[in-house]
A and B are shown apart, each in its own frame.
Chain A
Amino acid sequence: MYKYDEYDHAMVDARVAEFSDQVRRRLAGEITEDQFKPLRLMNGLYLQLHAYMLRVAVPYGTLDSRQMRMLAHIARKYDRDYGHFTTRQNIQYNWIKLEDAPAILEDLASVEMHAIQTSGNCIRNISSDQWAGAAADEITDPRPWAELLRQWSSFHPEFSYLPRKFKIAVIAANEDRAAMRLHDIGIQIVEKDGQHGAAFYVGGGMGRTPMIAPLIKDFVPLDDMLSYAEACLRVYNRYGRRDNIYKARIKILIHELGADEYRRQVEEEFKHVKSLGIDPPKAEFDRIAAQFAPPPLDASAPDEIDRSDPDFAVWVDQNVAKHKVSGHAIVNISLKPVGGIPGDASSAQIDLMADLAEKYSHDELRVTHAQNIVLPHVRKADLYAVWQALDAAGLATPNLDLISDIIACPGLDYCSLANARSIPVAQKIAQRFADPARQRDLGELKLKISGCINACGHHHAGHIGILGVDRKGTENYQLSLGGSGAEDVSLGTITGPGFDEDGVVDAIERVTDKYLAERNEGERFVDTFRRVGMAPFKEAIYG
């Protein structure tokens, strides 16, 4: 894991001091809310329906147990004893007092954490593959690349007042677990002539105009990566629309210019930027990469798992993934118990996960964009003990990637932008499909719910997506099918007229029944949908 050196500490400390001063000037009335808003946003502080919400950055989703315990501490001390893990691998707290924010940031800084650029029209926290460093299918660990980008983008003087927010994801496997092509810049580390480089996909995103990022450059060498990113951003800062907040993301610019013209301009800018000497030497990458060296895993550890406990065996089959080192496994902890709030965890649960990471996972945890937690490096021989501890804490729901492993935004229960509630819909769907055998029979089915068109719940990328809208003062839910945020990326198609809260749950059941009737051997829901198209599902839903 990356450890701060004196420079990183000094920068985060300076930021805490700066924000404390800004809060002081705001509370004293020296700056207006309009002036304060972008400053607090760049420190992760939103004003929500009921209170301030603080979003804490978890760079590329990686944490150690000390940091995880601090997240529990903040939940206990400053919030209502829980936190909410988000689709950008961050955590947010929903009941924060403005005057506590500087103290929270100080607490975070003491464990090398911060809330820098988790909001605002700047380059946001860099996200990555939650299985980085453990996945059997990666070509390298993407996190050193992400850390290089994190440092470059932190307090970037030119790109802190962009037309709109800017999100970057970095992966290094063909399986895309980070929705890479639905980011403003999606980077896939690829190999060419024995060298690793970055493939740049630019202009993806969700929101009210979802777009899949086109490939802008197939191979950017490590030595050029920051210059290339700088060129991509500079063209966007120059031409991105500022007259209409809904058309200000880079995806709209690239859609309007065309990928070829955007690429031409980036290449021209890159030629100039490259001459400025802003790319760090290989030694800096190596310094960072050394800190992500794999933990000492014993490849001769026993590879067998005692499956005699049937509940444990079900969990192993569903929530445990293949590790690159024999005798080890990746444990996925579901934060989606039936009837719970997707992504929420109590301080006691957060502490427990920290304990398990310390004892069984080389002190590492990950947050996933699907709002779950990962213990990336667990010996297979320890899986049963881990499962027992998780089970006792209500954290062993065996539903990874099943219909009840729902991504949901906070919705109208918390968010000032929402048109409809997301959480109760997620809960009703999970209850309708509560039977674990039924869920397993349905297989991989990614269901995602957004409470407004901003699409924080990734509904466009759901095999089944739900969008809550306000229709003449009542909550109405539109259903879409066939989206994916993975390597088979696609955008969902709306089925037709929307439903009320119970109606949408019924409609989903008709969709899944139709799938069971139509599917061929081995087909996932989304495969069947792609093969047969919308018509049979529409017929099943609307008659």
Chain B
Amino acid sequence: MVEHIHSDGEEPAVTLDAFLSQSNATAVRLEPDEDARALIPHLDRLALIEVAFPKFRDGRGYSSARILREAGYAGELRARGDVLVDQIAYMKRCGFDTFAPEKELNAADVEAALARWPEHYQGAADGAKPIWKLRHG
């Protein structure tokens, strides 16, 4: 589900270093230069992973998201930061399910962006059947 997140009252996400050195946190925040694979052994105790996008042009977080979903992470995966309406469809395909944009997005634009693509050429982390699979059953 896509929604704007207002993090009042929820457990704050800790840094990757803090998470790896303390056992009780259930929310972690991943920076672009941090390797998502470090979280793979701990996925079952995580309820929220926030992936930071300090600049929308930095696309490392797209890989981080896919890697986490491919490793079986089923909790909340949130894109936070410079998250713009023109990037969220790809983010969703990579496995993000919530978005915490710095600047609030226009709801109608979000809806249009997420409804834009009829199908997809390639497999990703959203479970959508790629076009080649639709062609060949």
Q: Which residues of A sit under 8 angstroms from B57, Cβ to Cβ?
A: 38, 121, 161
Q: Which residues of B sit under 8 angstroms from A280, Cβ to Cβ?
A: 130, 132-133, 136
- Given known contacts A238-B63, A276-B70, A281-B132, A154 and B121 CB-to-CB distance under 8 angstroms: yes
Which chain A residue shows the least CB distance to B57? A161
Contact A17 B122 (CB under 8 A): no
Contact B66 A158 (CB under 8 A): yes
- Given known contacts A237-B63, A280-B130, A287-B135, A152 and B122 CB-to-CB distance under 8 angstroms: yes
**Is A242 positioned at the interface, with any CB of B under 8 Å from its CB?**
yes
- Given known contacts A11-B121, A152-B122, A160-B59, A5 and B135 CB-to-CB distance under 8 angstroms: yes
Q: How far is the CB of A326 from chain B (nearest CB, A)?
A: 37
Bound CA–CA A159/B59 (angstroms): 7
Q: How far is the CB of A131 from chain B (nearest CB, A)?
A: 27
Contact B118 A284 (CB under 8 A): no
Bound CA–CA A284/B129 (angstroms): 14
**Is A97 positioned at the interface, with any CB of B under 8 Å from its CB?**
no
Contact A7 B63 (CB under 8 A): no
Q: Which residues of A sit under 8 angstroms from B89, Cβ to Cβ?
A: 157
Which chain B residue shows the least CB distance to A150? B121
**Interface range, A side:** 35 or more
Contact B86 A35 (CB under 8 A): yes
Interface residues in A277-301 (C-beta closer than 8 Å to B): 277-278, 280-281, 283-284, 287
Contact B59 A156 (CB under 8 A): no
Contact of A278 among B58, B86, B122 (CB under 8 A): B122
Q: Interface 1/0s, chain B 84-106, versus A by CB < 8 A?
A: 10110111011000000000001
Bound CA–CA A30/B56 (angstroms): 17
Bound CA–CA A95/B11 (angstroms): 54
Bound CA–CA A502/B124 (angstroms): 55
Bound CA–CA A276/B120 (angstroms): 16
The listed residue with most A CB atoms (<10 A of its CB), out of B63, B112, B113, B122, is B122
**Is A272 positioned at the interface, with any CB of B under 8 Å from its CB?**
yes
Which chain B residue shows the least CB distance to A158? B62
- Given known contacts A151-B131, A277-B123, A158 and B58 CB-to-CB distance under 8 angstroms: no
Q: Which residues of A sit under 8 angstroms from B109, Cβ to Cβ?
A: 25
**Is B3 positioned at the interface, with any CB of A under 8 Å from its CB?**
no
Contact B124 A158 (CB under 8 A): yes
Q: Which residues of A sit under 8 angstroms from B130, Cβ to Cβ?
A: 278, 280
Contact B93 A276 (CB under 8 A): no
Q: Which residues of B sit under 8 angstroms from A283, Cβ to Cβ?
A: 136
Q: Interface 1/0s, chain A 1-37, versus B by CB < 8 A?
A: 0000101001100100110011001000011000100
Which chain A residue shows the least CB distance to B115? A14
Which chain A residue shows the least CB distance to B36? A238
**Is A325 positioned at the interface, with any CB of B under 8 Å from its CB?**
no
- Given known contacts A35-B86, A281-B132, A283-B136, A14 and B117 CB-to-CB distance under 8 angstroms: yes
Contact of A11 among B58, B84, B117 (CB under 8 A): B117
**Is B1 positioned at the interface, with any CB of A under 8 Å from its CB?**
no
Contact of A155 among B121, B133, B136 (CB under 8 A): B121
Contact A152 B121 (CB under 8 A): yes
Which chain A residue shows the least CB distance to B70? A276
The listed residue with most A CB atoms (<10 A of its CB), out of B66, B94, B106, is B66
**Is A234 positioned at the interface, with any CB of B under 8 Å from its CB?**
yes
Q: Which residues of B sit under 8 angstroms from A162, Cβ to Cβ?
A: 59
**Is A39 positioned at the interface, with any CB of B under 8 Å from its CB?**
yes
Which chain A residue shows the least CB distance to B137? A283
Given contacts A10-B119, A31-B84, A121-B57, 20 further A-B contacts (CB under 8 A): A5-B135, A7-B118, A7-B119, A11-B119, A18-B113, A22-B86, A38-B56, A121-B59, A151-B122, A152-B122, A155-B120, A156-B122, A157-B122, A157-B124, A158-B62, A158-B63, A158-B90, A158-B94, A226-B122, A280-B136
Give chain A's interface residues, CB within 8 Å of chain B. 5, 7, 10-11, 14, 17-18, 21-22, 25, 30-31, 35, 38-39, 121, 151-152, 154-163, 226, 234, 237-238, 242, 272, 276-278, 280-281, 283-284, 287
